[in-house]
Structures are given as structure tokens and as C-alpha cells.
Amino acid sequence: MRKELKEYPFDWMLWRAFAAAARLKAGSEKEYRQAVNQIPYFRGALDAIYGIGEPGRLLLEMVAEYFEKIIHAEKRGQKTAITTFCFSPAVFYALDIVPITLEMMTVAMGATYKRGTADFLDYCNEVGFTETSCSSQRGSLGAYLAGNGVTIDMVVCDSPGVCDTNVNAFAFASAYLDKPFFQLNMPPDLIAARSTEYHRADYRALIDFLEEQTGRKLDTAKLRRILEEVVRQDLLMAELEELQILVPNPLPVTFNLLIYAGRFLYAGMPQCTKLLESMLAIGRENAGRNQSGLSSGREKLRGFFCYIDHYGQDFRLWQLLDRMDISYHGNILSKMWSQDAHYVKAFDRQKEGYKIDTTDLDTLIDSISDLNSRMPMIKSIRGPYDAPHMWLQDTLALAKLHKADFIVYNGTPGCRNTWGMVKPFARDTEKNGFPTLILYSDAFDMRVESWETTASRIEEFLKVRRLCS
């Protein structure tokens, strides 16, 4: 690893960068412009984020605070846990554990640094991790393996049965750093009684593990407050996503990212609620005026991303979509499957959704277990793609509900579970009338395919399929 990277811990650097970014609009516009000229590789992302107004500022503050908690965890007597985006952090907050969500760290660094997380991706390979593994965890994991971040106290994930390459990163970290490890294991079915029983037994074992690691007992009142906040967030998200369905879509393209960023970082915490409320205010206002959320005000196309977004340097995907007047209609990451979600109600799929029951500790644990087993990817990638309640059914239902003009699959070459079936999947979505683009890029590593090439492939697809001229 280049020695200059070792001079400051990478998570500390991210904290300082986002803390500074969150204050950029405190001065005049001229001061803002002069400041961002100093950060050519983060400028575009900041312009896009600040361009949406208050939610953008809240996002930056929220991310900065997230890193601040990580940096000061040890000093405050808190344990840290590296985890994955598809594991709800609500239980960590209930036990005063500071979560470090690797994929979010990778995205944050990819958005701010010229080379993204390239050095840390490579460092993982240097210490024996396969280069064919997913880059989403690998990007920030490399820093922690190199001792270039805070001390990790434990490793927790919920992807076995859903995504091997995801859990493999955590298993590797645990073995390499010799840290306690816990995995929630998902059966291939979601709603059968034995699956629910399994989820709940597994989750209770998780709580035992976390209590053992922290020396604390799960506080019922605290968990209740957190899950009540989750319910508030679910209702806000439901309304936001109902607005997304409107023609034109009144939400700016970046809003979907903010929805899942908020939940992945702060499920059950007021920071996420505040962000969602701020976004909803803009969404309602635009909807009231029948106005598109796109900068131009003209919606030409509606795009549905069936998997994840592309987090290339400077958030250029969102800039591309906005420039081409393509409204953004969601991806797998923003769907949490609460029973209050509009897509659950619209298709009468209550069994697939979770409901929070705050009666007592048992029902709280059952609720959070159900919530967790419906997290993005955990819910729908676990079983055969064409099985009921799984990925194809969800994609088609959502794309239809949102009146999507096309579907895009974007992931990473390390995504074994989707590359194992994305071709038949795309064949099925095409058969159902949705032009479907499979991108071969890496959402987190521009060295696999440069953004320029990826962008040209998106534009080429839209032209060839006569979706745009």
C-alpha cells in the first residue's frame, strides 16, 4: 500500500472529509465554489447532493456523524462491529454497539477519492483474499485488515444462504484479525412457518452473542423506542415510494440513494427520520405542482435498477440519469418490505412484509428478526430467483407498479449469486416487456470498467432499444 495512505487512518480521513463537506454551504455561494475547486474528485457528487437542498445537507451531516461515532467508539467505551448493509443496525443501536457498515464505507471513499478504494481493494488481495471477491466489502475491508482504521471488536453478518461472497469477506476478516464472528443464516424460503421459526431462533442466538461481547443486556425500552422509530420511518418511506410512482416522478434522482443510505446507517434512529421527513417535504411539494424531480423538469424515461446502483467516482450515475432526463424508480436496496410499504399493499403481499409488535421483549425480538430477514437482498436473493416472493417476482411487480420503461442490472463481477442466473432473469424480464440492460461493470471499482465505458454502454442500450434518440 502506498505509504502516504498509512499516515492517517482512512475512517478518520472520511470523517474529516464529510464533516467539512457538511459545512460547505454555511458560507456564501462564492466560498462554496472556491472550496469545491480544491476537491475536483468530490465536487460533482457534492454539487449533486447539495443540489437537492436540505436533504443533501442532512445526508452529509448524517454520514459525518456516523464516522464520528466510529472514530470515538473506543474512547466512549463502546464496542465496534463490522457488518454488512443488508443487516439492520437497529439491534446495534439497542445495545450501544457502533456499527461499521463496510459497503457504505467503500461507497463513501469511492465518492471522495480519485482512486476510490483501489489501494485497499489491492491490499485485500495482497493478504490472500481473492481478487474475484465482491469489491463492495473489499474496498474498505482492506483498510481494516491493514490496521489503517479503528480497532474492530466483532464481526456480524446475515448473508449466509443469500450471498456467499458477502459473508466470505466477513469470515475472512474474522479469521485474519482473529475477532469473534456471528452469522445469521437464511433458509431459501421466506414465509413458511419453519423459516420464521428459524429466523427467530437464529436472531435470539445473535442477541446472546452481542450481549456476551458487550457485557450488556438488551434493554427492552430502548429496543421498543428504536422499533417505534422504525415504524415512523417505514410510513415515511412508504409515502416517498408512493410519490415515486407518479407520472412525472416528483423525486430527484438521488432520493432513492438517500432512502437506503439513511436506513442502512440509522435504522430506528432520529437521524434517518429527519432525512426522510426532509425528502418528503420536497416530494410532496413537487407532486403538488405535478413537477418532475429532475433538474430539467422534463421526464423522458423511467428507469428501474433491479439490483444496485453504480457508485463510481463522483456519483456520476446520478448525474448521467439527471442529464438524460431519466427518473429513477428504485432498486433492490431501497425496499425494506414493511407491511406498510405501498408495494406490499398494492399486491396484497402482507405475508412477505414485517410488522412491528412492541408488546413485550419477545414480540420485539420477533419483529426485529422479521425485519432483518426482509432486508434488501436478504429477502429476495435467498431462494431460486423465480420462486414465489423472490427476485423475479419482486422486480416485475415493482417495475410494473412504477411504470418503468427499462430495467438495468448493475452489480460487481464478484456477485456470484446474481451472475449465476442474471441471464435467465433478464430473459424473463424481457419476456414481460421490460427492455433489460446487463452491465458488466463493477459498482465499486472503476478499474474493472471505466465509468466512461459504462456510461457509453447505457447510452448505447437506450439508443439501440429506441428508448431515446
Partner 1 sequence: MMKIFHESSTILFNRHVQNWKTGGGKVVGYTCSYVPDEIFYAAGILPYRLRGVGAREMNIADAYFGPFICSLPKCLLQLASEGKYHFLEGVVVTPGCDSMRRLDDCWRKAGEDITETLPSFFFHYAVPHKTADYSLKWFIEETHLLKCAVEKHFNVTITDAQLHNAIDIYNEGRLLLSRLDALRCATDVAISGADALAVVLASTTMPRKAFNSLLMDLIAQIEANTDRITGRKRLMLVGSANDDVELVRLIEGNEALIVADNLCFGARFYADLVEPEDDPVAALAKRYLFHNDCPRMFGDYKGRLSILKEKIKRAAVDGVILQNIRFCDLHGSENGIFERDLETAGIPCLRIEREYGPLVETGRIRMRIDAFLERLEK
Partner 2 sequence: MITAGCDVGSLTSKAIIMNDNRIVAQELIRSQIKPAESAVAVMECALQKAGLTIQDINFCVGTGYGRDKIPFVQEAVSEITCHAMGARWLLPTVKTVIDIGGQDCKAMRIDKDGKIVKFITNDKCASGTGRFLEVMARIIGVSLDDLGGLSARAKAPITMANACTVWAQADVIQHLNDGIAAEDIGAGINNAMASRMAVLANNIGLERDLCMTGGVAKNVGVVAALEKLLGMTIKRIKKVDPQLVGAVGAALIAADKCERSAAS
Q: What residue ranges bind partner 1 (CB under 8 A)?
A: 127-130, 132-133, 160-161, 163-165, 167-168, 170-172, 174-176, 181-183, 185, 187-189, 194, 197-198, 201-202, 205, 384-386, 413-424, 440
CA 227, CA 268: separation in Å to the nearest integer?
A: 6
Long-range contacts of 207-210 (CB under 8 A, 24+ apart): 207/91, 207/365, 209/156, 209/180, 209/182, 210/91, 210/92, 210/95, 210/97, 210/154, 210/156, 210/182
Closest CB 127 distance from partner 1, rounded Å? 7
Question: Which of residues 228, 452, 459, 460 is near partner 2 by CB under 8 A?
Answer: 452
Contact 318, 48 (CB under 8 A): yes
Q: Quick check: 217 binds partner 2 (CB under 8 A)?
A: no
Task: Please name the residue that has the C-alpha cell 438495468.
Answer: 408
Whole-angstrom distance, CA of residue 294 vs CA of residue 19 = 27
Q: Which does 202 bind (CB under 5 to 8 A by kind): partner 1, partner 2, none?
A: partner 1
**157: part of which helix (H) or strand (E)?**
strand 154-157
Q: Judged by CB under 8 A, which of 126, 197, 208, 460 binds partner 2?
A: 126
Contact 159, 127 (CB under 8 A): no
Q: Taking contact as CB under 8 A, which single stretch among the options 103-111, 121-129, 164-172, 363-371 is the one that binds partner 2?
A: 121-129
Buried b (16+ CB within 10 A) or exposed e, 33-57: eebbeebeebebbbbbbbebebbbb
Closest distance to partner 2 from the beta carbon of 111 (Å): 15
Phi, psi of 316, deg, nearest 5: -75, -20
Cβ 42 to partner 2, closest distance in Å? 16
Please provide residue 100's backbone torsions phi and psi, each rounded to the nearest 5 degrees: -125, 100
- What does the chain come to in residues? 469
* DSSP string computed for 116-151: TTHHHHHHHHHTT--TTS-HHHHHHHHHHHTT-SPP
The site partner of 453 among partner 1, partner 2, none (C-beta below 5 to 8 Å per kind) is: partner 2
Task: Name the region of 177 (left: φ>0; alpha: ψ -120 to 50; beta: rest).
Answer: alpha
Nearer to partner 2, 181 or 419 (CB): 419
* Shortest distance (Å) from residue 373 CB to partner 1: 14
- Min dist CB 10 to partner 2, Å, is 17
Interface pattern 388-427 for partner 2 (x via CB under 8 A): -------------------------x--------------
Instruction: Please identify which residue in 357, 430, 456, 459 interacts with partner 2, judged by CB under 8 A.
Output: 456
Asked whether position 131 contacts partner 2 by CB under 8 A, the answer is yes
Q: Name the minimum Å distance from CB 431 to partner 1.
A: 12
SS3 sequence, 331-346? CHHHCCCECCCHHHHH
In the complex with partner 1, the residue whose CB is nearer, 9 or 413, is 413
Q: Which does 172 bind (CB under 5 to 8 A by kind): partner 2, partner 1, none?
A: partner 1
Q: Distance from CA of residue 141 to its chain's centroid?
A: 16
Q: Which of 31, 33, 127, 289 binds partner 2 (CB under 8 A)?
A: 127
Chain residues in the site for partner 2 (CB under 8 A): 1-3, 114-115, 118, 122-123, 125-128, 131, 413, 440, 442, 445-450, 452-453, 456
